[in-house]
């Protein structure tokens, strides 16, 4: 029997897609830069079906690409050509929040927004958030160890995982869903799978940690003359506002692109750099925020403590990815730089990119999570296949002691860079782990580890 028939026996004919009209949306990534034809898209309903699909693919020697919401930005969740795409879209069950333990069991295919809503209904907070919330899945978030703006206070996805269920390439189901806070018996396998980008296992369920919701929030948008000034404001916020929840930045060019895309006017005066800070607490944190801004010598800021006002300010920051993509296919480099070197990095960036962009003009739009030293460098201009700009930016980052991937992952976009960034010894250790869990290289070949 052919593989497609075997898969249809496992998940039902309706959930094996081969018609190009139906598979197309699974075959190109969110940026439009990465993708290829899938042999088929298969949509299992639970861990048992995932295990059977993996066994069938292993027997047929056909590789498999796990996919959640397909909002990844490094090409790791789309086929390169000829793979089976395993979509988790049907594994989306959400259990009741366990208020005593502060956890909720969630299917890997549930969206981040669905998880947030389930937590909010009982006064809890999933405490991880970013603009792709309505489409990205909990499995994808964990597979990438996603971060977002609130990682500054609450950590990345890793800090939220209290347990995992996952299926290895040979169909073995691993389940650590007890929710024990203390359990150091043996190797921490869930920890190994977090951030593995679908190369070691398919995550099917997650036990997600929630926290009591902090009802009082205040957001400030602050125009500043330089990144160095932004650094000083961050320092003051850390010193005076323990309720600091997020500290983001963007630049003039980025704001102009977002304003044009959203057809709105700027709520704040013109500046080279904009800092967006949010504080959250049980009682109104406005006093703390004001004290911090005062200590930093900030004279001009737009402050909002109501939902509409706050969302309006956040839309300026969160609208960057979509607004930039509306202009063209950008080269997206999600990098991390030690805070002390961030100013240096941003100052050298236009010149480094300009020198590398031999095909013509390059427009550089950096923005991101200032508090984490995490910059999303977006470059418009060079063609999608022209990697020279990416190489130049990553070279600069590594030279400054930074990381080539802060939260989006390595995917296929940066696989060739991994050895340069992490060294031959670490790469060999990673290959040994991959070889132990997926000896035939069935899962997501070419992602994270270069072929
Ligand atoms: C507008 C926008 C804003 C964004 N902002 C942020 C941000 O602030 N912070 C951030 O960290 N990211 C951000 N991202 C990137 C992206 O949303 C995250 O990487 C997200 O975690 C991907 O989830 P997904 O379900 O869409 O995964 P996909 O794109 O489907 O897959 C991503 C990777 O995870 C693997 N994968 C997916 N599901 C599973 C599974 N169940 N088991 C094993 N492997 C799996 C895939 O194989 C692939 O390698 C943003 C993206 C967009 C489009």
Instruction: Look at residue 383 and tell me whether its pLDDT is greater than 90.
Output: no
Q: Ligand 1 centre and the CA of 89: distance in Å?
A: 13
Pocket test for ligand 1, best of 49, 70, 72 (most atoms within 8 A of CB): 72
Place of tokens 């298969």: 42
Ligand 1 lining (C-beta closer than 6 Å): 30, 65-73, 76-77, 88, 108, 130-132, 136-137, 139-141, 143-144, 146-148, 197-198, 202-203, 321-322, 407-408, 444, 447
What percentage of the chain reaches a pLDDT higher than 70? Answer: 99
Q: Ligand 1 centre and the CA of 283: distance in Å?
A: 34
**Per-residue pLDDT tens digits for 172-206:** 999 999 989 899 999 999 999 999 999 999 999 99
pLDDT of residue 385: 79
Q: Ligand 1 centre and the CA of 190: distance in Å?
A: 18
Instruction: Look at residue 359 and tell me whether its pLDDT is greater than 70.
Output: no
pLDDT of residue 426: 97
If phi over 0 gives left and psi between -120 and 50 gives alpha, with beta otherwise, what is residue 105?
beta
* Cα distances (Å, whole numbers) of residue 200 to 67, 89, 107, 239, 247: 14, 19, 18, 41, 33
pLDDT of residue 360: 63
pLDDT of residue 181: 87
Pocket test for ligand 1, best of 143, 166, 409 (most atoms within 8 A of CB): 143
Which atom from ligand 1 is nearest to the alpha carbon of 67?
A: 30
pLDDT of residue 273: 97
Pocket test for ligand 1, best of 69, 90, 140, 325 (most atoms within 8 A of CB): 140
Instruction: Look at residue 213 and tell me whether its pLDDT is greater than 80.
Output: yes
**Per-residue pLDDT tens digits for 121-147:** 999 999 999 999 999 999 999 999 999
Instruction: Look at residue 354 and tell me whether its pLDDT is greater than 80.
Output: yes
Identify which of 393, 442, 383, 443 has the alpha carbon closest to the alpha carbon of residue 414. Answer: 393
Q: Ligand 1 centre and the CA of 366: distance in Å?
A: 20
Pull the structure tokens for residue 404: 């080539």
Provide the pairing of β-strand 64-67 with 84-87: parallel
Q: Ligand 1: which residue has its CA nearest to atom 48?
A: 77
Give me the chain's average pLDDT, please: 96
Min mean pLDDT across 79-83, 338-342, 425-429 is at 338-342
Q: Ligand 1 centre and the CA of 440: distance in Å?
A: 25
Instruction: Look at residue 252 and tell me whether its pLDDT is greater than 70.
Output: yes
Residues 278, 217 contacting (CB under 8 angstroms): yes
Q: Ligand 1 centre and the CA of 79: distance in Å?
A: 15
What percentage of the chain reaches a pLDDT higher than 90? Answer: 94
Q: Ligand 1: which residue has its CA nearest to atom 44?
A: 198
pLDDT of residue 230: 96
> pTM of the full predicted structure?
0.94
Q: What value does the mean pLDDT take over residues 254-266?
A: 97
Identify which of 166, 157, 165, 151 has the alpha carbon closest to the alpha carbon of residue 138. Answer: 157
Which atom from ligand 1 is nearest to the alpha carbon of 407?
A: 11
Instruction: Look at residue 358 and tell me whether its pLDDT is greater than 80.
Output: no
């Amino acid at each position: 029997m052919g593989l497609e028939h075997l898969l249809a026996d496992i998940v039902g004919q309706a959930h094996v897609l081969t018609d190009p009209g139906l598979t197309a949306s699974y075959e190109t990534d969110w940026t439009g830069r990465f993708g290829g034809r899938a042999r088929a898209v298969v949509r299992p309903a639970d861990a048992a079906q995932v295990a059977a699909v993996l066994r069938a693919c292993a027997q047929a020697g056909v590789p498999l690409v796990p996919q959640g919401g397909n909002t990844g930005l490094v090409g790791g969740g789309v086929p390169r050509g000829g793979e089976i795409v395993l979509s988790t879209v049907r594994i989306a069950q959400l259990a009741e929040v366990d208020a005593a333990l502060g956890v909720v069991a969630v299917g890997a295919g549930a969206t981040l927004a669905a998880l947030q809503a389930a937590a909010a209904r009982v006064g809890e907070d999933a405490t991880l958030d970013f603009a792709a919330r309505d489409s990205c899945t909990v499995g994808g978030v964990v597979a990438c160890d996603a971060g977002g703006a609130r990682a500054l206070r609450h950590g990345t996805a890793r800090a939220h995982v209290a347990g995992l269920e996952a299926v290895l390439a040979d169909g073995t189901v691993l389940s650590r869903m007890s929710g024990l806070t203390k359990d150091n018996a043996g190797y921490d396998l869930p920890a190994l799978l977090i951030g593995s980008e679908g190369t070691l296992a398919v995550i099917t369920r997650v036990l997600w940690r929630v926290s009591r919701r902090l009802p009082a929030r205040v957001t400030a948008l602050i125009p500043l003359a330089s990144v160095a000034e932004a650094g000083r404001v961050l320092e003051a916020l850390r010193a005076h506002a323990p309720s600091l929840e997020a500290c983001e930045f963007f630049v003039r060019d980025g704001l102009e692109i977002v304003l044009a895309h959203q057809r709105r006017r700027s709520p704040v005066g013109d500046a080279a750099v904009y800092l967006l800070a949010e504080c959250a607490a049980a009682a109104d944190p406005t006093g703390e925020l004001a004290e911090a801004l005062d200590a930093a010598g900030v004279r001009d800021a737009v402050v909002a403590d109501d939902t509409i006002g706050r969302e309006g300010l956040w839309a300026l920051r969160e609208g960057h990815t979509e607004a930039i993509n509306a202009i063209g296919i950008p080269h997206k480099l999600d990098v991390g730089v030690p805070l002390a070197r961030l100013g240096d990095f941003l100052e050298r960036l236009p010149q480094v990119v300009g020198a590398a962009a031999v095909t013509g003009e390059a427009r550089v739009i950096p923005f991101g999570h200032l508090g984490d030293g995490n910059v999303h460098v977006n470059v418009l201009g060079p063609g999608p296949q022209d990697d020279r700009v990416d190489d130049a930016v990553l070279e600069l980052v590594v030279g400054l002691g930074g990381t080539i991937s802060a939260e989006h992952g390595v995917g296929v976009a940066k696989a060739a860079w991994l050895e340069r960034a992490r060294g031959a010894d670490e790469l060999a250790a990673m290959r040994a782990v991959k070889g132990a869990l997926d000896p035939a290289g069935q899962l997501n070949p070419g992602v994270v580890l270069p072929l």
